[in-house]
Amino acid sequence: MTEPLIDLQAVTKVYPGVKEPAVKALNLAVEPGEILVLVGPSGCGKSTTLRLINRMIEPTSGRIIYEGQDVTKGDPNELRRRMGYVIQQIGLFPHRTIAENIATVPRMLKWPKKKIKERVDELLEVVSMDPSIYRDRYPSELSGGQAQRVGVARALGADPDVLLMDEPFGAIDPITRDRLQNEFLRLQADLKKTIVFVTHDIDEAVKMGDRIAILRDQSEIAQLDRPEVILTDPADEFVENFLGSGAILKTLTLRRVRDIDLDPMVTLKQPVHRSQALSEMNEANTTSAVLLDEQDRPLRWLDERALNSSSSALERSGRPITVQLQPEDTLQDALSAMLQTSSGMSVVVDGRGRYLGCCTIESLAGLLLTQGNETSSP
């Protein structure tokens, strides 16, 4: 195990005038490069815990270790400039342009002007916003999704090792949220930041987290593990209840089509003649096949009956293939794709659209049933 980047040691927060601590003797180690999701019912202290890390809330007792140093004392502003911070309300400065917003921390750190300008453009590219369009705009001209992208870019301003994110996608509509989550995960694959992510949404936690800490009252850790372990092996009743019914279904989003053993199907590559097709299917002792074009891209489902009953060209017999899966798709995507087809079967293609194989509802079910015993990472 590597040295943790952030280490909370017996951190307690008691608000003045309140008897019960909001966070009670919490020990939490965040490994470098991981997304650690803090999730729990409202009022469990997950947000407080996040804000203890950059001392937006000062701990009553305990120690905060960051990069091997005790940062419990000392200037909190210095500490915060080394950590990106993203909140649900975003909090862009409305009187500053997008570029000025993103440049906030680099400016405080007195970076040279030219470097700041380059950094701003780079970050806008990173969050897929065209610098020439957005650089000089004001936050009031952005949509919610764009504003949150700028919020992330601003948090990344001075290239901190750590990002603290407090329900960053909580106020965004579900479709945009899904897109932002995917974008963010893609981004993280390159950036490899250490991220502490707070949410109350278990689905978001499962999707985003390398590890998930499920918290109960006073920020007590009920379970801290990889999502697939939590979903298949909840530590106690509290976790089980929090996961809700259908925890096994949630594991569908954790695994990919590439985990399934693809079924071999008879393939017929164009140009092919009807009689040749029939004889090949007979030989393989099957009644259906996949018709591919010259570049190995799947075109149609063919079956014996369709071939025998009509004399139309092969390109017009059978059924067209409308739904295709790629190895990176989640099993949830696969399931919904297969349910759309009458055969309960879907072709899998590679990035260029070339045929790789077929996956069936049976092979997917088989994978789910063996899942309880194995906990391989996706």
Partner 1 sequence: MSAAIVPTGLSTERKRRSLAAWTSDQLDLIVTPVLALILLVLLITVWSYSTFDPTTERILEPSQLARQLWQQLYVAFFSTVIVVAVAIPIGILVTRENAPRIKDTLVSFLGLGQAIPAYGLIVLFFVWLGQGAWTVIFALATFALLPVLRNTIVGLEQVDSSVIEAGKGMGMRGVQRLTKIELPLAVPVIMAGIRTATVINVGMATLAFLIGGGGLGETINAGLKLNRPTAIFIGAVLVALVALVFDFAGGLAQRYLRPKGV
**What does residue 375 show for φ and ψ, rounded to 5 degrees?**
-130, 45
Where do we find the tokens 């063919």? 302
Does 94 interact with partner 1 (rule: CB under 8 A)? yes
DSSP 139: G
How far apart, in Å, are the Cα atoms of 268 and each of 104, 113, 298? 60, 62, 9
Residues 6+ positions from 285 with CB-CB distance below 8 Å: none
Q: Draw the binding track, 197-236, toward partner 1 (x: CB under 8 A; -: no contact).
A: ----------------------------------------
For residue 141, the one-letter residue type is E
Q: Smallest distance, Å, CB 91 to partner 1?
A: 3
Residues between 46 and 65 that touch partner 1 (CB under 8 A): 54, 56
Residues between 119 and 158 that touch partner 1 (CB under 8 A): 138-144, 147-148, 151, 154-155, 157
77 vs 340, beta carbon nearer partner 1: 77
- Sheet of 298-303, strands arranged across: 267-269, 288-292, 298-303, 319-320
Our CA angle for 187, 191, 197, nearest 5°, is: 70
Residues in the chain: 378
Q: In the set 108, 133, 339, 365, which binds partner 1 (CB under 8 A)? A: 108
Q: By the 8 A CB rule, do 50 and 39 touch?
A: no
User: What burial class does residue 197 get, using C-beta atoms within 10 Å of its C-beta: 0-12 exposed, 13-18 middle, 19+ buried?
Assistant: buried
Q: Smallest distance, Å, CB 253 to partner 1?
A: 26
Residues between 261 and 280 that touch partner 1 (CB under 8 A): none
Does 177 interact with partner 1 (rule: CB under 8 A)? no
13 vs 250, beta carbon nearer partner 1: 13
Q: In the set 22, 28, 62, 80, which binds partner 1 (CB under 8 A)? A: 80
Q: In the set 32, 33, 41, 91, which binds partner 1 (CB under 8 A)? A: 91
Does 172 interact with partner 1 (rule: CB under 8 A)? yes
For residue 47, the one-letter residue type is S
Q: Which two tokens stand for residue 245?
A: 């019914």
Q: In the set 9, 12, 97, 287, which binds partner 1 (CB under 8 A)? A: 97
| Dist. CA 199–CA 182, nearest whole Å | 16
Stretch that binds partner 1, among 25-33, 70-78, 180-188, 294-302 (CB under 8 A): 70-78
Q: In the set 87, 163, 252, 345, which binds partner 1 (CB under 8 A)? A: 87
**Residues binding partner 1 (CB under 8 A):** 54, 56, 76-81, 85, 87, 89-97, 104-105, 108, 138-144, 147-148, 151, 154-155, 157, 164, 171-172
